[in-house]
Chains A and B, each alone.
Chain A
Amino acid sequence: MSPVSDDDVSLPHISDNDLKPFYVLHKASDCQQRVKKPVGRSSRKVKVNLSASLATSDEGEMQDDQLHENSRMKNFHNAWVKIESTIKDVLHNINADVFNEVDSWVHKSFDSICSNGKPDANKATCAYPIVTDVTAKQIFTALVVMNNMEFVDDLQTFADLGTHLQSHGCHVANLSSVDFSVKSGIGGCLRSLLRQILSSSIDVADISVLASWYIEHDNYKHPVVVIIEDMDRCSGPVLSDFILMLSEWVIKIPVILILGVATTLDASKSILTSKAVQHLSPSKFFLGSPADRLDAIIKAVLVKPCSGFLVGHKVAGFIRNCFLRQDGTLTSLVRAVKMALVQHFLMEPLSFAVNGLLDEESEESTSVAEAWPKQAFDLPSCSRRLSEPKSEVALDGPSKMIEVMNLWSCVVLCLHEAGKKQKTTLLDLYYEALDPKLYNLRHSDHLELKPDSQRPSWIQGINGTSSKMQKGGLIGQTTRQVRDLSPAALLQLVEKWSKQTDGFIEIHEKVKELQLQEKIEDDTLKELANRSRRQTIRNSGNLDRSTKTLNDKAAALISCMTRDHMQPIECIPFHEIVCFKNVDKLQAALCGDPRRRIQLDLLECHNFLKCSCCGKSSNAPSSSMHDTTLMYTLAQEHGDLINLHDWYQSFRAIIFQKTVKERHRMKVSPSPKKRKMTAEPQNITEASVQARFCRAVTELQITGLLRMPSKRRPDFVQRVAFGL
């Protein structure tokens, strides 16, 4: 080996760019930009295809694939736009009342400030300070309580509030806790405020700039609203200074503050200085609870199939768990839905056939395809159905699917209405209603019973004599709750059902029937009660009995609806086209698990490299293993501290193992220098083993699985992860 000279310092395969903090890899290629359509895919250049039938040599088929791929992407785009706008509408409706309240309060406050005298050029240019009266230094402040510790969900709410106020003529600036940090100080928030209100870059952070802008043109006719979305996270002193400053200028610039409060209403008192608090004239507003918002979004996006996209039972379970156990934010739920949508259209080759399916407008314009594409008959859900003995079951087209799905969502919403009193969340109900197993169980139970007429079987079902699922499940509980409702509540519920089922003839008629019975029952009872008021005791017994039968009938009705019409998407043939079921893929994309996965990479390296040299099944240390994985496997034998000497020795021993075997009893020379001189390619020098050891330790250090030796323990490294 040639001695290493100082000139030979450049590392192999390390280019200049690797050592620059940053560099431009390439600029957008202009020619492609021109060809590209605004909403097309951007990856035509890559010679990989999304479709499964990549290997087809037939050009026609290739063209078909391309067409299908394009329509898949188009479908994705349409579905997402639809979901996004639905969510926006839902949130808008939920917040509309509060927003209007805030808006009218803002204008009222502005009027009251102006009643002290409108700002004009004279006032703005007169000497500072102009306000001497303390009461006139009050800033009208709205404390908007979020009912939610997770401020992430309310970022959009405050952005929307800003737009809402802006559309009603206010000058609005949306600030956040980032602007009120100790580091940037009062200059930071002021600069941010000026940038948004004046919509230009300002070098000097001076409030007088705002004052002189305010008297220009017609600006002074409208209030300046400053929204701080997360007051609890702001730096107290900076926010206090900001408020004090605004209060000095409040006559020149009638600023109205809107503070988002995540914790409690008196948070402002604990964060701000008492002097600043004195200048606030607070009013309170309350945003809708996160649970209401969640239910509304689930209803609009997932229960009512708004976009031609649905998720399977397991995926729904994952989304539910994410919300309930891990994150609890709507933002993450919406993100999960978007990710599921992306994955579905990427993975399901037949998703090109969705084409406006379930879209109410296109349903009307009869653009829904009459039949599924021929490839769809190979789908598991379809072939399963075909192989069943009763193969006369017609394999219906997309329109039938829409019908079944609409019925399903109608029943789910009826159940939700029934469970509202008991605070049953739609998310839980939705999850259970999607379960194909429960549906099949419900049906097999029903078939086992072989009832003479339908009616007794419902009652049998709810009495719990045979139904296994109805006992524990949420749906069973909800059904039972119907029996305990008061007559008034029952009346209301049936009325709601009647509205909900409007358009679904098969259910609606039954509901109407029940409503009629209820009315007759109600009338006769009223008559009875009027006729003999004195015989109250005897009549109340009658009254109880008759309402009980009504309750039973209502419970039987919802039970029947559940059994006959609540067919989960996964039980419908061809559901694969519109339904995303791959929960593992979704989970992997949404929440990476580097701690576990990186360790698994190291411990099960063979699963990835699939080399022939290392043992196939066992992960026992061997010399052919990747150095770092070998080292990490060896590290597992140590405690939380690894003695470097021992670790090196065991590493070295394994590295030399193979050589020893190959050379048959050849003794390893005690001096590494001697071995180094031999020209054999297999020759391993002590220095090279040390170098490999060093590099492996460095790599483990990069992954964060090791902590380097400290001064106190120079011969030990520390393990960081224990178990996966």
Chain B
Amino acid sequence: MDENDMIDEEEYEFSRNYFLAKESGKSVKKSSAHKVSELNLADEQELRAEVSNIEPRHEKEIALLINSYKKLYNEWVFELRYGFGILMYGFGSKKTLIEDFASTALTEYNVIVVNGYLQSINLKQVATAMAEVLWDQLKMQLRSASGGTSRDQQPFNSRSMDDLIAFLDEPHKTENECLVCLVIHNIDGPGLRDSDTQHLLARIAACSHVRIVASIDHVNAPLLWDKKMVHVQFNWCWHHVPTFAPYKIEGVFHPLILAHGGTSQSVKTASIVLQSLTPNAQSVFKVLAEHQLAHPDEEGTCLTFSVFKIHHVLGDIWYD
């Protein structure tokens, strides 16, 4: 049949391209043995400064392109409302677009943003925050409906993940629909890429009080999900929204390809890593740094704490 022929042809085309690429790869490899070190490379510090100062181009066109998606906002809200998850893909950072959508069109929902491009994300904390905002809204509605005080709730941060998901999924009798919209930038990002996290996200997305808006950038992102996740839990509605906007924040954690080995990690990267840590871990580092500054002469300048000393210094935080 016609369609089969087309598929065959596509497959043929693909394999042909692949082998051609392999072939030319060999020839190039033979002829071109240039090394990166032969280039007159700027030093890493200068390169980083230049990267952050790259003159933006096509700014007007990009802004127009992003603005042109505004007319789709209604459609997206409608799809969200009726149980679809919105999945945006296409080249360019979609961060601005999604956040603009969330803050203009989703004002009736609680919106929580997850930055999936960061290295480590604690989903338990995200779920706790979701449960908290939902509870706040429910409490307010119950209070306005009954005029009395609402029942007490066990603090969410001491609850298990299963409990949190059950809370987000349980039917609450309220006058209006209470929804928490979870916006996930780069659901295929490094911090969320593993299978367990994706399954957990899918379970959260399937809750009756949760709606999900996410973006992917990786061409193979769909491989993260099985049929249950795609059709039942996330229930994705795909939207191709290329923006061509630079991946500023998304690209911060990637080493520069022309930088020498990345031996001198800049303060910027360190500070970013530090900021992405949990508050508790941040304060551990803070105490360590303060201790080191307060005792500059002690045991040289390196962080050569003994285990005993760490216990001593951090005792307050750990045993709080």
Contacts and interface: CB of A to CB of B under 8 A. Distances in A.
Interface in A143-194: 150-152, 155, 178, 183, 191-192
B61 to A, nearest CB: 4
A698 B254 contact: yes
Contact of A48 (B73, B84, B89): B73
Interface in A570-608: 588-592, 594-595, 597-599, 601-602, 605, 608
Contacts of B25: 638-641
B41 interface: yes
Given A11-B252, A152-B232, A694-B257, A339 B237 contact: yes
A45 interface: yes
B219 to A, nearest CB: 4
B292 interface: no
A129 interface: no
A628 to B, nearest CB: 7
A391 interface: no
B51, B266, B272, B275, most chain A CB atoms within 10 A: B51
B219 A25 contact: no
Nearest to B141: A33
B84 A342 contact: yes
Given A21-B118, A22-B125, A25-B113, A342 B79 contact: yes
Interface stretch (A206-214, A461-469, A557-565, A715-723): A715-723
A624 B122 CA distance: 42
Interface in B112-144: 112-115, 118, 120-122, 125-126, 129, 133, 136-137, 140-141, 144
Interface residues of B, number: 138
Contacts of B105: 43, 45-46
A13 B137 contact: no
A346 B218 contact: no
A201 B163 contact: yes
Contacts of A708: 257
Contacts of B266: 9
A321 to B, nearest CB: 7
B240 A592 contact: yes
Nearest to B83: A338
A339 B23 CA distance: 44
B304 interface: no
A491 interface: no
**Size category, A interface:** 35 or more
Interface stretch (B11-19, B283-291, B294-302, B312-320): B11-19
Contact of B108 (A28, A152, A335, A646): A28
Contact of A692 (B54, B99, B275): B54
A22 B231 CA distance: 26
A38 B176 contact: yes
Contacts of A274: none
B39 interface: yes
B108 A32 contact: yes
A29 B87 CA distance: 24
Contact of B114 (A22, A29, A693): A22
B32, B50, B112, B267, most chain A CB atoms within 10 A: B50
A195 B21 contact: no
A638 B95 CA distance: 32
Interface in A620-639: 624, 626-629, 638-639
Interface string B227-239: 1100110011111
Interface in B243-273: 244, 246-252, 254, 256-259, 266-268, 271-272
A690 interface: yes
A640 B53 CA distance: 32
A168 B83 CA distance: 31
Contacts of A13: 248
B293 interface: no
B47 A695 contact: no
Nearest to A19: B275
B115 A609 contact: no
A49 B72 CA distance: 9
A372 to B, nearest CB: 25
A93 interface: no
A26 B250 contact: no
A588 to B, nearest CB: 6
A722 B17 contact: yes
A691 B242 contact: no
A80 B81 contact: no
B115 A20 contact: yes
B231 A691 contact: no
Contacts of A327: 227
Contacts of B27: 639
B177 to A, nearest CB: 6
A329 interface: yes
A701 B217 CA distance: 10
B110 interface: yes
A595 B216 CA distance: 11
Given A33-B108, A346-B75, A723-B14, A28 B137 contact: yes
Contacts of B126: 21-22
A703 interface: yes
A396 B112 CA distance: 52
Contacts of B179: 28
A635 to B, nearest CB: 10
Contacts of A628: 91
Interface string A305-346: 000000000000000010000010101100100110010001
A339 B220 CA distance: 24
Contacts of A201: 159-160, 163, 166
A699 interface: yes
Interface string A423-442: 00000000000000000000
A393 B50 CA distance: 72
A702 B276 contact: no
Interface in B1-35: 3, 13-14, 16-18, 20-29, 32-35
Given A6-B267, A49-B74, A721-B219, 6 more contacts: A4-B45, A20-B115, A46-B74, A589-B238, A715-B35, A723-B17
Interface of B: 3, 13-14, 16-18, 20-29, 32-36, 38-42, 45-55, 57-58, 61-62, 65, 70-71, 73-75, 77-79, 81-82, 84, 87, 89-92, 95, 99, 102-105, 107-115, 118, 120-122, 125-126, 129, 133, 136-137, 140-141, 144, 159-160, 162-163, 166, 175-179, 183, 191, 196, 199, 216-222, 227-228, 231-232, 235-240, 242, 244, 246-252, 254, 256-259, 266-268, 271-272, 275-276
Nearest first, the 8 closest Cβ-Cβ pairs linking A and B are A639-B25, A592-B238, A691-B50, A645-B34, A723-B17, A639-B24, A687-B42, A601-B91
